[in-house]
């Protein structure tokens, strides 16, 4: 009797432990506990089906002569496995994320109820259907045909066009795939509320700050020497607040912008302008040089690229001690061309590099305030580069300086003197 009891609880216990472990691993991999749970659940379902088939083959073998006791044990084990299988299918079916099991040719083998709601799949007609053909009029079909190597973020749900989903395709079993889709509509709404709030507040702050700054400019510190330090500090802070508002408005515009109006960006005069701006900000405290060897112009927005490039240079000026060197380079690369700014400043610890483009993120708050930075410059750079299908690369070592590089593809390059795009 104890032996039978021991065997009866081992399999369910192992399966429950596997589900918990899968949820835990999914949580560690980015807060996707439900996805980890679903993946383990599908694996266990396949395992149970395989085990039932194996046991059935043993019972039906010609040379087998099962006794009544063996038959009873087999039936008991089969009922237990069938019960576990029903529980696992029920658990996977009630997951809030859509789960679709595909074969090696992307035919639908199984899907849960959330897949019916989010992806518009229907039972039984869609079982065995080719998924990209079933979703032929959606972005998902193009993504699947292109190989689905990277997750697809923030797309309309085929079952509900007014809802948004993130989709991932994972390898599973023998040449099978597991498609997971998560509803992010509430996150999209919250992000839109945040953008509207920032834009509205920035617009409302612009007028009173302009008035305050204007009146401060009218007061001459020489007329009230005892208040001169206070007036100078008020002017500096008023100017800094005005710059923060302008940067917030720029960010709000870039975040809602899907593409740029392409025009010729002549790099030679742009580099000259950026150098003059850097020298004015530096006031002779740094050695600033420009190296231009790319012999190419860019295709994009002059205003936005000027903003991004000058932000990188002004950061270098602010965070490089007096006597340091700042080098602005425009050169060719194997991918296209690179605009880079190298300084001999304080440098940035590696632990901070991944978060530098976040709004208001600062490596050193006191140093940023002293230098007059708003904490939004690199966020603006990131969004401008995204609109130009470019990327930002940051290399830095504490005490040795930093290099910020903007990598552009060949599609964005134009030979000097060629005709402007239509």
Pairing of β 325-332 and β 287-292: parallel
What mean pLDDT is predicted for residues 125-137? 82
Q: Are strands 401-409 and 336-343 parallel, antiparallel or unpaired?
A: antiparallel
Q: Is the pLDDT of residue 372 over 80?
A: no
Q: Does the pLDDT value for residue 305 go beyond 90? A: yes
CB 167 within 8 A of CB 180: yes
Task: Give CA–CA dist 150/152, Å, rounded.
Answer: 6
Q: Domain extents for the chain?
A: 92-184, 187-255, 263-414
**Angstrom distance (rounded) from CA 166 to CA 381:** 25
Nearest C-alpha neighbor of 178 from the set 86, 95, 83: 95
Instruction: Give Dmax over CA atoms of the chain in angstroms.
Output: 113
Task: Supply the pLDDT for residue 291.
Answer: 92
pLDDT of residue 330: 94
- Please give the average per-residue pLDDT across 97-111, as a whole number: 84
Among residues 82, 78, 122, the alpha carbon closest in space to that of 100 is found at 122
Residue 136 to residue 126: CA distance in whole angstroms:
13
- Give the pLDDT of residue 119: 85
| Rounded average pLDDT over 377-397 | 90
Report the b/e string of 219-249 with b at 16+ CB within 10 A.
eeeeeeeeeeeebeebbeebeebbbbbebbb
CATH of domain 92-184: 3.30.450.20
Q: Tell me what pLDDT residue 151 has.
A: 84
- pLDDT bucket at 169, cuts 50 / 70 / 90: confident
Mean pLDDT of the chain: 80
More confident site: 334 or 422: 334
Low-confidence winner among 54-58, 268-272, 291-295 (lowest mean pLDDT): 54-58
What CATH code is assigned to 263-414? 3.30.565.10
Is the backbone of residue 190 left (phi > 0), alpha (psi -120 to 50) or beta?
A: alpha
pLDDT at 29: 64
Q: What is the pLDDT of residue 3?
A: 42
Residues 31-43, mean pLDDT to the nearest whole number: 69
Q: Which CATH number fits domain 187-255: 2.60.120, 1.20.120, 3.30.450, 1.10.287?
A: 1.10.287
Instruction: Note the pLDDT of residue 191.
Output: 78
Rounded-to-integer distance, Cα 282 and Cα 316, Å? 10
**Model-level pTM?**
0.59
Q: What contacts 66, CB < 8 A, 6 or more positions away?
A: 59, 74
pLDDT at residue 325, as a whole number = 93
pLDDT band at residue 370 under the 50/70/90 scheme = low
Confidence (pLDDT) at 23: 66
> What DSSP element (H or E) covers 153?
strand 152-157
User: What are the beta bridge partners of residue 173?
Assistant: none
100-120: average pLDDT? 84
Percentage of the chain surpassing pLDDT 70?
Answer: 81
Non-local CB neighbours of 297 within 8 Å, separated by 6+ positions: 264, 265, 266, 267, 413, 414, 415, 416
How far separated are the first and last CA of the chain, in Å rounded?
85
What would the mean pLDDT of 11-22 be, rounded to a whole number? 71
Block residue for tokens 């010729």: 264
């Amino acid at each position: 009797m104890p032996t039978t009891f021991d065997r009866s609880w081992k399999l369910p216990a192992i399966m429950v432990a596997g589900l918990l472990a899968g949820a835990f691993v999914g949580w560690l991999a980015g807060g996707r506990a439900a996805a980890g749970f679903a993946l383990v659940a599908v694996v266990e379902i396949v395992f149970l089906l395989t085990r039932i088939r194996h046991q059935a083959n043993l019972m039906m073998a010609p040379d087998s002569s099962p006794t009544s006791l063996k038959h009873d044990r087999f039936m008991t084990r089969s009922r237990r496995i069938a019960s576990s299988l029903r529980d696992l299918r029920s658990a996977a079916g009630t997951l809030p994320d859509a789960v679709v099991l595909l074969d090696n040719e992307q035919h639908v083998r199984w899907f849960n109820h959330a897949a019916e709601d989010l992806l518009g799949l229907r039972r039984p007609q869609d079982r065995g259907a080719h998924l990209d053909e079933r979703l032929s009029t959606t972005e998902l079909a193009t993504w699947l045909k292109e190989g689905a190597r990277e997750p697809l973020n923030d797309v309309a749900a085929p079952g509900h066009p007014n809802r948004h989903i993130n989709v991932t395709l994972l390898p599973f079993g023998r040449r099978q795939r597991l498609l997971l889709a998560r509803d992010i509509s509430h996150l999209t709404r919250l992000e839109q509320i945040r953008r509207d709030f920032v834009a509205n507040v920035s617009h409302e702050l612009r007028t009173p700050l302009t008035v305050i700054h204007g009146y401060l400019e009218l007061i001459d510190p020489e007329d009230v020497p005892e208040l001169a330090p206070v007036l100078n500090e008020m002017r500096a802070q008023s100017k800094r607040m005005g710059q923060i508002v302008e940067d917030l408005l720029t960010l709000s515009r870039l975040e809602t912008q899907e593409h740029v109006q392409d025009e010729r960006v002549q790099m030679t005069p742009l580099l000259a302008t950026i150098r003059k701006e850097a020298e004015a900000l530096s006031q002779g405290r740094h050695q600033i040089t420009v190296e231009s060897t790319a012999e190419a112009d860019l295709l994009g927005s002059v205003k936005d690229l000027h903003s991004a490039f000058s932000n990188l240079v002004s950061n270098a000026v602010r965070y490089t001690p007096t006597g340091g060197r700042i080098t602005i380079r425009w050169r060719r690369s194997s991918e296209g061309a690179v605009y880079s700014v190298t300084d001999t400043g304080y440098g940035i610890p590696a632990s901070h590099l991944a978060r530098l483009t976040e709004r208001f993120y600062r490596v050193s708050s006191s140093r940023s305030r002293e230098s007059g930075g708003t904490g939004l410059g690199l966020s603006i750079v990131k969004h401008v580069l995204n609109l130009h299908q470019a990327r930002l690369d940051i290399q830095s070592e504490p005490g040795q300086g930093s290099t910020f590089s903007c990598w552009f593809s060949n599609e964005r390059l134009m030979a000097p003197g060629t005709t402007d795009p239509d």
